[in-house]
Amino acid sequence: MITGLVKGKIHPHKFDKAEFYAAMRSSDLEIINNEIDVIKGTQEKEKEGYEGALLMKKAELVKSLKERLSFFKQGRIKLETNLLADNNNTELHFLRLAIEEHAPKIVKYYFDIEKDKSIVINNFKNLSPVVQNAILDYCENSQVLHRKDFSLH
């Protein structure tokens, strides 16, 4: 059975977007690793993108430079491959934007920020409430996306 870790408690769960975004915000390697395990067992069409984003997040947290580069590269390939297969997926563009904005300049992963920003803003209203909330939470610490970009009534 696949298990996940949330707030220090191990429990079985299936893929849940809210838990995925909680893992993306986390700085706890155990939470990130457990969420990667959950994603590997899912049939979501964004599976590779989710796993890729978490691998790139994990790259920020490991100590060894070699491991950082390895996780980042693996994650980048998974996310970009998923985007090539599903280029109209706004959520994948948001994930790439979130990674691009915080990636170290040395990895040269920042070329699509403006494109991704535009796609996320233009398609925000079509996203699920969970993803909309993740984007609005992300705006709090973003230099690129701002709450005012989304006409919220």
Does the pLDDT at position 6 exceed 70? no
Which pLDDT does position 106 carry in this prediction?
Answer: 85
pLDDT at 13: 64
Q: How far apart are CA 31 and CA 19, in angstroms?
A: 10
Q: What is the rounded CA–CA span in Å between residue 145 and residue 117?
A: 7
What pLDDT is recorded for position 152?
65
pLDDT over 70, % of the chain = 90
Contacts 24+ apart (CB under 8 A), 112-117: 113/144, 117/144, 117/145, 117/149
Separation CA 34–CA 110 (nearest Å): 28
What pLDDT sits at residue 112? 95
pLDDT at 104 (0 to 100): 86
Per the model's pLDDT, the better-predicted residue between 144 and 1 turns out to be: 144
In tens, the pLDDT along 105-150 reads 888 998 999 999 999 999 999 999 999 999 999 999 999 999 999 9
